[in-house]
Amino acid sequence: MSAVIPQAPRIHALSPHDATLWLPAALQIYVAAMDYPAGTETHRLPMWREHLNRPGYAAFGAVQALPAADGRPVDHLVGIAYGYSGAGDQWWNRQLRVGLRQRGLPPAGIDAMAGHYFELTELHVHPAAQGHGVGSALLTALLTDRPEPRVLLSTPEVAAEQNRAWKLYRRTGFYDVLRDFRFSGDPRPFAVLGHDLPFGPPAP
Residues with catalytic function: 169
d(CA 81, CA 144): 13
d(CA 14, CA 54): 15
d(CA 36, CA 137): 24
Contact between residue 90 and residue 47 where contact means Cβ atoms under 8 Å apart: no
d(CA 43, CA 189): 22
CA distances from 196 to 36, 121, 125 (A): 31, 16, 23
